Structure 1
Amino acid sequence: MRLYLCEKPSQGKDIARVLGANQRGTGCYNGAGVTVTWCIGHLVEAASPEAYGEHLKRWSLNQLPIIPDTWRIVVKANTALQYKVVKQLLAQATELVIATDADREGEMIARELLELCRYKGAIQRLWLSALNDASIRKALATLRPANETVLLYHSALARSRADWLIGMNLSRLFTLLGRQAGHDGVLSVGRVQTPTLRLVVDRDRDIAQFISVPYWVIDVELSLQGQPFRAQWTPPTEATDEAGHCTQQVVAQSALHRIQTTQEAKVICVDTETFREAPPLPFDLSTLQVVCSRRFGLDVQDTLDIAQSLYETHKATTYPRSDSEYLPESMFAEVSMVMNSLLATDPSLQPLISAADWTQRSRAWNDSKVSAHHGIIPTLEPFRLEALSENERAVYELIRGHYLAQFFPHHEFDRTNALLACGHESLRATGKQIIVSGWHRVLGNAPDVSDEESGKRSHVLPAVVPDTCCSVQQAEMTALKTLPPKSFTQGELIKAMKGVAKLVIDPRLKQKLKDTTGIGTEATRANIINSLLKRGYQVKKGRSVRASETAFTLIDAVPAAIADPGTTAIWEQALDMIETGEMTLDEFITKQAHWITQLVEHYRTSTLPIRIPDGPTCPLCGATMRQRSGKNGLFWSCSRYPECKGTLPVEAKTRSSSSSRKPRRSNPRGTER
């Protein structure tokens, strides 16, 4: 009997339908010589420390570090029934097809089960990028040998064990040290979550310490042969800050007076440059989450859930947890099928699809840029568009738009810069004239689909040439202030996690990180942010996420290397090396265990520099309250507990006192009118 092992029941149902396995059994579908079963995510998990000894139930510094000699996995209690089903079917199978998600985690979900159940039969791998019938049939016809993907399992296992070593040892270590310093809650430390939290803490401190600086701008309305246009005053360098802002009011006022009294500006030079913008690439998951956060205000988990629904439930788009924006060159042969599917799904696309050049091969088709997955695009088969919710449709149309954009010309425009002299003052006027709308016909002028020019309206200058004189119609001075950096939204935090190289100072490390995935992976980043929210380390403030008081305490307490975004990015690089065979699982875990042992020994006798938050007054008895950690995160609990059971929710506080950084006086990127 050939057994197909899927990751989720919905996948099992889709694959069973194509295989003709239509007889429903307990936790499976049966057909002629074929059975399809499934996991429910992970059916097994890494054993907790107490599984290695009853004495480890009690947290103690003397027991650390905990380094298993032989790693154990146990069956998850809430999915034990399905585990029994899979185990029985594996015992009956003569050959197995792994049909879990085509990624590192999917490989681990299947292979851990096979090891625990001691399956020794033949194994093949089904590699699916979409769950529509055509894609399933194509994948079934091209099953891969199991040895082609086994290193994915080793990489996932390395990630899991490294997370266990860091989480179990360092969470216990710093929680116990925290208790010695008077902190009652758990200080949870994670390989990915702690550096992610560091990003938010640093941003919040930058905001708290920012000192706003006033500056002045002058806008000038000019006219040439009756055609109005606008120019901006260019202040002298001796009166500007590093961002080019005029910080001396008296200089600006003098310039305004001279411009108003001169009443004429002469064109000194004109420079026009033509730009061609290629269509934006199809989405990877992170980019999709960033855009949906910015445009629709969706949480990153909401975007992932919607993308998963478009993939699994509606069969509308391909595999969502992709880390690539590119497409295999072989998929260019499927363009006509995708286009016809789009038209059958939504006939209103007829004008766009008719205008598209189906033979145009954009930069998106590039085998060298495709990893295990390709960009997220529409599937080969129509579906019921009306079945989508409002948010599902919005996300689907973004994905569809980025695919359609590949078949439209480049967006072309001229940018003109004119330098003018008004008395002794310099003015600059900028114009933009669109030559070819190109792919903007599909995606419009939304700022998130192109560079900074995309969101700007076309502003055409008159026919200015050197030595032309323009009349000054009006000049106005405006007082502005530099603004602090903005708090992270979830989408911007995802972007920062992915682009962590930009935040690393060491030039050698920065270069090494430029082509890596950053903090976490496409499949885990949303979960990391959710975990920080649930544990009370982050709180939502509108669309933003802010660090809680305990977050500052934690980041100040843990070793710099643990909280350094560059460190976890290097770990991700090591996991990629395991995946490609450049490093073994055992080598990686041995290095991790040695490093954990060194950290424990170094900090075992340390005193943490913890500032205990000032608690509110208990509403029941008036005693001081303390922060505690519960199943739903942090909360205030009466210090007289259990005699008094008063509680209050934790409100986020931004601390600046625990940072040793000097105040920032301005922020060139954070300046707005």
Structure 2
Amino acid sequence: MRLYLCEKPSQAKDIAQVLGATRRGDGCWTGSGVTVTWCIGHLLETAPPDAYDARYKRWVLADLPIVPGQWKMQVKAKTAGQYKAVKRLLAEAGELVIATDADREGEMIARELLEHCRYRGPIQRLWLSALDEASIRKALAALKPGAETFNLYHAALGRSRADWLIGMNMSRLFTLLGRQSGYQGVLSVGRVQTPTLRLVVDRDRAIADFVPVPYWTIEVQLLAEGTPFTTQWRAPEDACDEQGRCLKQALAQQAAEAMRAAGQAQLVSLKTERMREAAPLPFDLGTLQEVCSKKLGLGAQETLDIAQALYETHKLITYPRSDCGYLPLSQHGEAPAILAALRRADPSLAPLEAHLSPSRKSRAWNDAKVGAHHGIIPTAAAQAFERLSGRPRAVYQLIRARYLAQFLPTHEYDRTQADFDCAGQALRAVGRQIVEPGWKRALPEALAPAKGRDAPPAQTLPPLRQGQRCEVGQVNLKDLLTQPPKPYTEGDLIKAMKNVAKLVEDPRLKQKLKDTTGIGTEATRASIIQGLLDRGYLTKQGKALAATPAAFGLIDAVPRPIADPGTTAIWEQALDMVQDGEMPLEEFVAKQSAWMSRLVERCAGLRLTISGPPLTPGRGGKPWKKKRAAGRAAATKKSAGDRKRAPAARTR
């Protein structure tokens, strides 16, 4: 019997239908010589400290660091029934096809089970990017040898064990240090969550420490043969800051008075340039979360949940947990069928038909830049669109628009820059005239690029000629103040996590963070932010995130490497070596254990100053959800010493 092992029940059902396995069994679908079973995420979890020694049920400084000699896995109680079904099927299988999600974590979900159940038969790998029938059939016809993806498992296992070491040891350490100073809450520490928290703490401090600086601008209305347009005063460089803002009030006042008195301005330079803008890439998950936060007001986790439903339930989009916006050239041949399906499913796309060209290849089609996953795009199963409404419909339309944009012409416009002299003062007007709307025909207005605070108004200039004199209309002297940084929203924080390389000085680590798209993964960033909210490290007012007093105290106390995103880059370099077979898993874990032991020794004598009440789940602005309570219950306890383990111990 050939057994297919999937990650989720819905995924298993889709694959089973294509394979003809239509009979429902105990935790599986069966057919002629074929059985399809499923996990429910991870059916196993790394055992807690007390599984190694009962004394670890109590949190005691003298017991740290806790470093397992032989790592143990245990069956998750909630899904023990499905584990038994999978174990039985593995014992009966003559060969196995791993059909979990095509990434590190998906590989680990399957391989940890095979190891725990001692499966020793032949293995192949199904590598899926979408769950519509056509995509499944295509992947089934191109199964990979199991050995080709095995090292993904060891890389994921190394990351998991290193996260365990930090979570279990540093969370216990800082919770116990907090108690010594009178703080009775649990202080959770994690490899990704703590650098992420530091981003918000640093931003909040920048806002609190910000001192506004006054500056002055002048907006001058000119008339060219009776047609008004707007120009901006260009102050001398020696009177401006690095952003070009005039800091000298007297100079600005004198310039405004002089231009009012002059009455005319002469055109001294006129330049028109044809500008061409390529279509934006299809979405990766982080960019989708950023746009949905800004334009639709969605939280990062809510966006991921909607995208996952569009993928699993509706079959409308490809795999959503992608960190790549590029597309493989091999998929370009599917474009005519997908475009036709999109047009049939939604008659409102009819005006685009004359402009769409299925043969067009935008910059998105680039095999060299496609990793394990490609950009999030619609599938040919577009007829399900009519069943969507509300936010899922809006998210799908954003994804669809980015795909349609790849088959529309380049956006072109003429940019005209006109420089004037008015009483010895420099004025500049900038105008745009659209020549070819191109891909912008497909994008909803909500996707128009946002303008900066000091951006000149968009306008179309009247016909102008060199040397022309224009009448001066209104002269508006504006007294302004520099603005503090804006608080993070969830979308902004996702973007900051992706682009955290900007904060790292070491050029090698900076490049590594760029290559790995920052800290966290597309699949985990939303849950990291939600975890910080749930644990009370962050609060939410409207869209804005803010750090709590305990978050400030913790970031000030933890060793710099724990809160430094550069540490993640070092880890990722080592995990890449594990994935490439250049470093054994055991060596990676041994190095992490030694490093953690040094940190514990160095920090054991610290004195913490943590202000504010103990962290309580639910203070982050959303109701505490019962379904999450079991995994994080200890976070609400005043004393964790007589509890099984802290909730934070499994944090990333």
Whether TM-score is above 0.5 comes out as yes
Query: Per the alignment, in what secondary structure is the counterpart of residue 406 of structure 2?
Result: helix
Correspondences of 1:162-201 after superposition (within 5 Å): 162-201=162-201
Aligned to 2:532: 532
Write the letter of the residue equivalent to 1:470. Answer: C
Deviations 1:57-110 (A, max 9, x none): 111111111111111000011111111111111111111111111111111111
Deviations 1:220-274 (A, max 9, x none): 0001122211111112233322322222222221111111001111122223322
Structure-2 change in CA distance of 1:508 and 1:37 (3 Å): closer
Aligned to 1:17: 17
Structure-2 change in CA distance of 1:145 and 1:193 (3 Å): same
Contact 1:262–1:423, Cα closer than 8 Å, also in 2: yes
Structure-2 change in CA distance of 1:119 and 1:507 (3 Å): closer
Structure-2 change in CA distance of 1:526 and 1:166 (3 Å): same
Aligned to 2:631: none
Q: Aligned partners of 1:229 and 1:347: how far apart in 2? A: 40
Q: Aligned partners of 2:162 and 2:242: how far apart in 1? A: 44
Contact 2:232–2:456, Cα closer than 8 Å, also in 1: no
Find out whether 1:612 has 2:644 as its counterpart: no
Q: How far is 1:351 from its partner?
A: 2.8
Q: How far is 1:138 from its partner?
A: 1.3
Q: Which moved more, 1:169-178 or 1:569-578?
A: 569-578
Structure-2 change in CA distance of 1:10 and 1:456 (3 Å): farther
Q: Aligned partners of 2:555 and 2:329: how far apart in 1? A: 45
Find out whether 1:438 has 2:438 as its counterpart: yes
Q: How far is 1:572 from its partner?
A: 2.9
Q: Which moved more, 1:328-337 or 1:574-583?
A: 574-583
Query: Per the alignment, in what secondary structure is the counterpart of residue 471 of structure 2?
Result: strand
Q: How far is 1:612 from its partner?
A: 2.8
Correspondences of 1:642-653 after superposition (within 5 Å): none
Aligned to 1:377: 377
Correspondences of 1:46-65 after superposition (within 5 Å): 46-65=46-65
Q: Which moved more, 1:384-393 or 1:125-134?
A: 384-393
Q: Aligned partners of 1:300 and 1:465: how far apart in 2? A: 51
Aligned to 1:86: 86
Q: How far is 1:583 from its partner?
A: 3.3
Aligned to 1:654: none
Q: Aligned partners of 1:437 and 1:264: how far apart in 2? A: 36
Aligned to 1:239: 239
Contact 2:239–2:248, Cα closer than 8 Å, also in 1: yes
Q: Aligned partners of 1:628 and 1:424: how far apart in 2? A: 64
Find out whether 1:577 has 2:577 as its counterpart: yes
Find out whether 1:513 has 2:513 as its counterpart: yes
Correspondences of 1:648-663 after superposition (within 5 Å): none
Write the letter of the residue equivalent to 2:531. Answer: S
Structure-2 change in CA distance of 1:450 and 1:153 (3 Å): farther
Correspondences of 1:194-593 after superposition (within 5 Å): 194-444=194-444, 446-447=446-447, 459-593=459-593
Write the letter of the residue equivalent to 1:12. Answer: A
Q: How far is 1:175 from its partner?
A: 1.3
Find out whether 1:104 has 2:90 as its counterpart: no
Query: Per the alignment, in what secondary structure is the counterpart of residue 430 of structure 1?
Result: strand
Contact 1:433–1:458, Cα closer than 8 Å, also in 2: no
Deviations 1:189-239 (A, max 9, x none): 100000000000000110111111222211100011222111111122333
Q: How far is 1:633 from its partner?
A: 6.1
Gaps of 5+ in 1: 614-626, 636-647, 649-673
Aligned to 1:628: 614
Q: How far is 1:367 from its partner?
A: 0.7
Q: Aligned partners of 1:311 and 1:490: how far apart in 2? A: 22
Contact 1:516–1:573, Cα closer than 8 Å, also in 2: no
Contact 1:513–1:570, Cα closer than 8 Å, also in 2: no
Aligned to 2:66: 66
Q: Which moved more, 1:377-386 or 1:469-478?
A: 377-386
Q: Aligned partners of 2:302 and 2:212: how far apart in 1? A: 35
Q: Which moved more, 1:27-36 or 1:534-543?
A: 27-36
Write the letter of the residue equivalent to 1:612. Answer: S
Q: Aligned partners of 2:481 and 2:384: how far apart in 1? A: 51
Q: Which moved more, 1:537-546 or 1:239-248?
A: 239-248
Deviations 1:104-153 (A, max 9, x none): 11111111111111111111111111111111111111111111111111
Query: Per the alignment, in what secondary structure is the counterpart of residue 17 of structure 1?
Result: helix
Q: Aligned partners of 1:178 and 1:338: how far apart in 2? A: 57
Q: How far is 1:414 from its partner?
A: 1.8
Q: Aligned partners of 2:404 and 2:35: how far apart in 1? A: 39
Query: Per the alignment, in what secondary structure is the counterpart of residue 384 of structure 1?
Result: helix
Contact 1:280–1:450, Cα closer than 8 Å, also in 2: no
Q: Aligned partners of 2:136 and 2:449: how far apart in 1? A: 32
Contact 1:540–1:546, Cα closer than 8 Å, also in 2: yes
Structure-2 change in CA distance of 1:103 and 1:467 (3 Å): same
Write the letter of the residue equivalent to 1:397. Answer: Q
Q: Aligned partners of 2:458 and 2:549: how far apart in 1? A: 46
Q: Aligned partners of 1:110 and 1:451: how far apart in 2? A: 47
Q: Which moved more, 1:64-73 or 1:565-574?
A: 565-574
Write the letter of the residue equivalent to 1:128. Answer: L
Write the letter of the residue equivalent to 1:546. Answer: A
Query: Per the alignment, in what secondary structure is the counterpart of residue 355 of structure 1?
Result: coil
Q: Aligned partners of 1:382 and 1:447: how far apart in 2? A: 22
Q: How far is 1:514 from its partner?
A: 2.8
Structure-2 change in CA distance of 1:456 and 1:378 (3 Å): farther
Structure-2 change in CA distance of 1:84 and 1:352 (3 Å): same
Q: Which moved more, 1:337-346 or 1:534-543?
A: 337-346
Q: Aligned partners of 2:440 and 2:450: how far apart in 1? A: 9
Contact 2:550–2:610, Cα closer than 8 Å, also in 1: no
Query: Per the alignment, in what secondary structure is the counterpart of residue 11 of structure 1?
Result: helix
Q: Aligned partners of 1:52 and 1:403: how far apart in 2? A: 51
Q: How far is 1:512 from its partner?
A: 4.2
Structure-2 change in CA distance of 1:418 and 1:146 (3 Å): same
Q: Aligned partners of 2:103 and 2:451: how far apart in 1? A: 31
Query: Per the alignment, in what secondary structure is the counterpart of residue 373 of structure 1?
Result: coil
Query: Which structure would you say has the larger RCO, counting Cα contacts within 8 Å and 6 or more residues apart?
Result: 2
Write the letter of the residue equivalent to 1:133. Answer: E
Q: How far is 1:345 from its partner?
A: 1.7
Write the letter of the residue equivalent to 1:99. Answer: A
Q: What RMSD over aligned residues (CA atoms) do the two structures have, in Å? A: 2.0
Structure-2 change in CA distance of 1:578 and 1:452 (3 Å): farther
Q: How far is 1:447 from its partner?
A: 4.9
Q: Aligned partners of 1:239 and 1:106: how far apart in 2? A: 58
Write the letter of the residue equivalent to 2:91. Answer: A
Structure-2 change in CA distance of 1:456 and 1:256 (3 Å): closer
Write the letter of the residue equivalent to 2:184. Answer: D
Contact 2:128–2:135, Cα closer than 8 Å, also in 1: yes
Query: Per the alignment, in what secondary structure is the counterpart of residue 320 of structure 2?
Result: coil
Q: Aligned partners of 1:178 and 1:431: how far apart in 2? A: 59
Contact 2:100–2:107, Cα closer than 8 Å, also in 1: yes
Write the letter of the residue equivalent to 2:98. Answer: I
Structure-2 change in CA distance of 1:10 and 1:60 (3 Å): same
Q: Aligned partners of 2:416 and 2:620: how far apart in 1? A: 55
Aligned to 1:603: 603
**Count of aligned pairs between the two proteins:** 621
The TM-score with structure 2 as length reference comes to 0.92
Q: How far is 1:449 from its partner?
A: 6.0
Q: Aligned partners of 1:15 and 1:489: how far apart in 2? A: 38
Q: Which moved more, 1:591-600 or 1:344-353?
A: 344-353
Contact 1:538–1:551, Cα closer than 8 Å, also in 2: yes
Q: Aligned partners of 1:530 and 1:247: how far apart in 2? A: 42
Structure-2 change in CA distance of 1:586 and 1:152 (3 Å): same
Structure-2 change in CA distance of 1:208 and 1:630 (3 Å): closer
Query: Per the alignment, in what secondary structure is the counterpart of residue 197 of structure 2?
Result: helix
Query: Per the alignment, in what secondary structure is the counterpart of residue 628 of structure 1?
Result: coil
